[in-house]
Chain A
Amino acid sequence: MIRIFTVYFEGKYEPKYVTNLYRGLKKYCKVPFEFVCLSDTNEIEADRIIPIYKTGDIKLHWHKLAFFSPLFGGQQPGDDIIVMDIDQVVVSDITDMINYPVNENELISIERWWNLGDRLAPRLNGGFYKFKSGSLKCVWDNFVRNIEYWQTHFYYEGLVHYKYYGEQNFVQHICRRENKKITLMPGEWIGKWTQDTVRNMKYNIKYGEVFNDDYMIMDQPNPRLKLIHFANPNTTIHDSKDEWLKDYWQ
């Protein structure tokens, strides 16, 4: 069974981020999966909702790390676990990503092509993790031993610019330390988009350079793209004015 896990809590995003991601996956994925959301509201569409417990020590997106424990979310031995951020839009057949082969002790993620050349940035993108249930439990086990320390560690080390950022740095750090294999899916499958025109232009140019293509997103997304990530501290999907988005985020 493929189980896709997401996290939602009131704040920057709205419940429809979960619903629209779920609908996008349903529309563009040809293999069966269960879509589960750890959420503080039931006003979302999902196959299953787990209530999030927000008054504890775990902050923001760090809740995602619980999915690395095989004891969380109704995981069964042998399950393929996918953890996705909700600030993403599915724009074409995503079956190859959801069904990407994964082995025990291996983490599948997406290459952060937009950070190529930045030695401080992690290579993987926390918007998409895939692994065999339980085979990366070291991620959760190390985190829960010292939650407060890890949640701010990468900020105080100067590796991320915002307090409580750095979850993907942590995942990469632990996987490397514990000799887990990190495999990155083709970066051309994912787009990076913001509400900043200049920044988007840079992403278009970078995408073209890295993947030898003309553009990433013009009037429509490049057909090579499967998923577009809107992750940026000042970016939301629901405020976007891009016309192409209306075809995919509904």
Chain B
Amino acid sequence: MNIICVCTGQKYSQWYVNNLKHMIDTYSGLKYDTFNVITKNSYTGVFNKLQMFRDFTKGQNIYFDLDVVIKDKVPEEIIQKDLHLVHCWWREAKHTPVNSSIMSWYGDQSHIYDFFKQDVIGLEKKYNRGMDQFIFENIEHKSWKNICNTIQGHEYEPENYDYSIWLFNQRYMMFQEGWSGWWKNYFIENTISKAS
């Protein structure tokens, strides 16, 4: 099993990578063979994530965004043969009902990258709201209905034990020093400054 994350640009420091690995190793229960970080900044923002479909074409692959919190054993259905993304059950579908904060697939899905590579400029422009919509509209996929929850709207509530994976949906700053919340109990250290 390959665990994959993407750390390009300036937004996320190495601490976020270390912290994700810490949470996976400590809480997730996943037994993986390789932990991989894509750092090559070849495309615009989130479209760099598509490089994983080029680079990981064998065996089981599971991808996590760097702003997820993993605090307990992940559901077994996270291991999937067909390409799976997160179904955003907590919100209206809007421009896309899926979220690529977590993805899982077995084997070769390089056709996704090849499709994108044919018209990088056009597709980045067309899907300027993100690559989730690109996958939703162009790529055969399935989605988990209830594998995780979002922190949005729950950040002020006491810790919820119903979900082992929490998406922070761009609230990555809430991982940093100065912020408080139950999620910090699961971090490699309590502050980003100590780690960086």
Nearest-Cβ distance from residue B99 to partner chain A, whole angstroms: 15
Task: Mark B160-176 against chain A: 1 for CB-CB distance below 8 A, else 0.
Answer: 00000000001111101
- Taking residues whose C-beta sits less than 8 angstroms from the other chain, chain B's interface range is 10 to 19
- Contact between chains at A53 and B152 (CB < 8 Å): no
From B156, B170, B181, contact of A137 by CB (8 A): B156
- Contact between chains at B181 and A71 (CB < 8 Å): yes
Q: Given A55-B10, A55-B11, A70-B156: A50 and B178 within 8 A (CB)?
A: yes
Contacts of A58 in B (CB 8 A): 173
Contacts of A145 in B (CB 8 A): 152
Contacts of B155 in A (CB 8 A): 71
**By DSSP majority rule, is chain B's interface helix, strand, loop, or mixed?**
loop
From B11, B156, B178, contact of A56 by CB (8 A): B11
- Contact between chains at B156 and A53 (CB < 8 Å): no
Nearest-Cβ distance from residue B87 to partner chain A, whole angstroms: 20
Nearest-Cβ distance from residue B121 to partner chain A, whole angstroms: 21
- Contact between chains at B173 and A66 (CB < 8 Å): yes
Nearest-Cβ distance from residue A51 to partner chain B, whole angstroms: 5
Is A162 located at the chain interface by the 8 A CB criterion? no
Contacts of B177 in A (CB 8 A): 50-51
Is B57 located at the chain interface by the 8 A CB criterion? no
Is A73 located at the chain interface by the 8 A CB criterion? yes
Contacts of A147 in B (CB 8 A): 170
Is B192 located at the chain interface by the 8 A CB criterion? yes
**A147 vs B171: C-alpha distance when bound (angstroms):** 10
- Contact between chains at B170 and A144 (CB < 8 Å): yes
Is B193 located at the chain interface by the 8 A CB criterion? yes
- Contact between chains at A72 and B178 (CB < 8 Å): yes
Contacts of B173 in A (CB 8 A): 53, 56, 58, 66, 144
Task: For the complex of A and B, list the 10 residue pairs with the smallest distance between their C-beta atoms, beginning with the closest.
Answer: A50-B178, A55-B10, A51-B193, A53-B176, A71-B180, A56-B11, A71-B179, A51-B177, A72-B179, A71-B181
16 further contact pairs, Cβ within 8 A, besides A53-B192, A71-B180: A38-B178, A51-B178, A51-B193, A55-B10, A55-B13, A57-B170, A58-B173, A66-B173, A70-B156, A71-B156, A71-B174, A72-B178, A134-B156, A137-B156, A145-B152, A147-B170
